[in-house]
């Protein structure tokens, strides 16, 4: 293998046994591994953050199934490129060859017409589509194509996975083995990687190449200094993407409109997808502004719709308006905390029975069994409220929603107390 290749490419796994991470998908007995090993491969979309093995997994699937492999990037491929691959796949069918794997990186960047061009071939099985996306496919992949694919979620790599990757690099890469490399501290390497295998290897390679000695000892300080010296190169690899979106989100959450607009400008100037920014604003409106200003979600959704319709360069104005509005709004994460607390309770307690009086009773038998019996219709009572139990018996005294300390939710709290008394 060429030594001019980046470390991450030299160490790209070839088999599922060498693949690190995503045990929930490709571990022994896991759903995707069973599909691959059975040979009955369906079209799939791999959704997850950068550097977690989406491209690698696509190549492993093709190698394991011994199928032709075509790769397109949505950034620089068009409808013609898709049709060329489909034509080649159709011609191969005459020779009895297996249907090829078509891997499309960043499939979320494909336009509707580009995605439409895939439908017939995917449905007929002429190609097995493996799409990779860092964005929620529900937003960016058209429904007809999404319905023809299984969606699998890949997770960021944890500390144990990253340490495994470092060990593989130091013990198996022929170039690194020519030097005596000792990692005395790995916290900086792991922190800068952010759960991204490619980023981890890029940082490791950058640090090693910066040291001309045959014996290299890596510490947190050396890693940090090496990255600071090579910050321009590091940025060109797109490694600051998640740091900047993190700064943007935290500035809005922290109610600093000046910092929020600055980081917004950094993203726009850096060519960030405006739809990506708009989606984050919708999430911010619900998670961090929430019920302190319910209009924030309406404005953020309007921003999301407008950005889709308008595009660049005018989208910058819409994004700026929404960013400033959210940053200057009162903040509450009560809705976010409430649903997470409820989800945690569901996972702990399982499928608790619905109280009989609020069950649906569409048949006479269900009515005889007590379904819906003694249910009180709220609108039949003064103020359209009457106290009754809605939670399962085991949770009837459990609370999930705690109103935030802001004018809007203070009024909500007063209303809840007038209805439910000491429960709130």
Span 194-203, pLDDT tens digits: 788 888 998 8
- Stronger pLDDT, 103 or 79, i.e. the higher one: 103
122 contacts 16 by C-beta, under 8 angstroms: no
Domains of the chain: 21-153 (3.40.50.300), 159-236 (1.10.8.60), 247-327 (1.20.272.10), 353-423 (1.10.3710)
pLDDT in tens, 305-328: 999 888 888 999 999 999 999 999
DSSP 21: S
Joined together, the tokens standing for residue 167 give 């060990």
Would you state the pLDDT for residue 316?
94
Residue 3 has pLDDT above 60, yes or no: no
72 contacts 85 by C-beta, under 8 angstroms: yes
Would you state the pLDDT for residue 151?
92
Joined together, the tokens standing for residue 327 give 């940053």
Beta bridge partners of 284: none
330 contacts 408 by C-beta, under 8 angstroms: yes
pTM (predicted TM-score): 0.61
Residue 169 has pLDDT above 90, yes or no: yes
Band of residue 95 on the pLDDT scale cut at 50, 70, 90: low
Residue 391 has pLDDT above 60, yes or no: yes
Question: H/E element holding 132?
Answer: strand 128-133
Q: Residues 187-210: what's their mean pLDDT? A: 87
Band of residue 6 on the pLDDT scale cut at 50, 70, 90: confident
pLDDT in tens, 18-71: 999 999 999 999 999 999 998 889 999 999 888 899 999 999 999 999 888 998
Residues in contact with 405: Cβ distance below 8 Å, sequence separation at least 6, in sequence order: none
Would you state the pLDDT for residue 237?
42
Would you state the pLDDT for residue 108?
86
pLDDT in tens, 264-302: 998 888 778 888 899 999 999 999 999 999 999 999 999
Residue 235 has pLDDT above 50, yes or no: no
Residues in the chain: 424
Q: Residues 171-187: what's their mean pLDDT? A: 90
pLDDT in tens, 319-359: 999 999 999 999 999 999 999 999 999 999 988 988 988 88
Instruction: Calculate what percentage of the chain has a pLDDT beyond 70.
Output: 95
Would you state the pLDDT for residue 227?
77
Would you state the pLDDT for residue 238?
47
């Amino acid at each position: 293998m060429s030594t001019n290749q980046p470390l991450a490419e030299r160490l790209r796994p070839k088999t599922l046994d060498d693949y690190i991470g995503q045990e929930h998908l490709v571990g022994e007995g896991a759903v995707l591994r069973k599909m691959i090993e059975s040979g009955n491969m369906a079209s799939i979309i791999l959704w997850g953050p950068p550097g977690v093995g989406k491209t690698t997994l696509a190549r492993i699937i093709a190698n394991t199934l011994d199928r032709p492999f075509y790769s397109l990037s949505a950034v620089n491929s068009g409808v013609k490129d898709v049709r060329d691959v489909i034509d080649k796949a159709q011609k191969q069918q005459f020779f009895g060859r297996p249907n090829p794997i078509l891997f499309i990186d960043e499939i979320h960047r494909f336009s509707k017409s580009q995605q439409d061009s895939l439908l017939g071939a995917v449905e007929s099985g002429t190609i097995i589509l493996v799409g990779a996306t860092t964005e929620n496919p529900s937003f960016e992949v058209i429904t007809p194509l999404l319905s023809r694919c299984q969606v699998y979620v890949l997770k960021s790599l944890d500390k144990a996975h990253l340490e495994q990757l470092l060990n593989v690099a130091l013990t198996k890469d022929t170039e690194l083995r020519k030097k005596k490399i000792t990692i005395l501290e790995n916290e900086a390497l792991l922190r800068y990687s952010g759960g991204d295998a490619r980023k981890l290897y890029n940082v490791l390679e950058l640090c090693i190449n910066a040291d001309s000695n045959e014996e290299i000892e890596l510490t947190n300080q050396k890693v940090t200094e090496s990255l600071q010296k090579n910050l321009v190169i590091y940025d060109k690899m797109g490694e600051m993407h998640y740091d900047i979106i993190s700064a943007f989100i935290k500035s809005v959450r922290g109610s600093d409109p000046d910092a929020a607009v600055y980081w917004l400008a950094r993203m726009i100037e850096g060519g960030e997808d405006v739809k990506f920014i708009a989606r984050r604003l919708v999430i911010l409106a619900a998670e961090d502004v929430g019920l302190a200003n319910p209009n924030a979600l309406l404005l953020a959704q309007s921003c999301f719709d407008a950005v889709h319709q308008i595009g660049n360069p005018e989208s910058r104005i819409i994004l700026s308006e929404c960013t400033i509005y959210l940053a200057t709004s009162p903040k509450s994460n009560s809705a976010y905390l409430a649903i997470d607390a409820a989800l945690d309770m569901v996972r702990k307690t399982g499928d608790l029975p619905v109280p009989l009086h609020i069950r649906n009773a569409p048949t006479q038998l269900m009515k005889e069994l007590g379904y819906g019996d003694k249910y009180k219709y709220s609108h039949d009572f003064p103020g359209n409220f009457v106290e009754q139990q809605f939670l399962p018996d085991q949770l009837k005294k459990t609370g999930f929603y705690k109103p935030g300390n802001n004018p809007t939710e203070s009024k909500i709290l007063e209303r809840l107390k007038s209805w439910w008394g000491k429960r709130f």
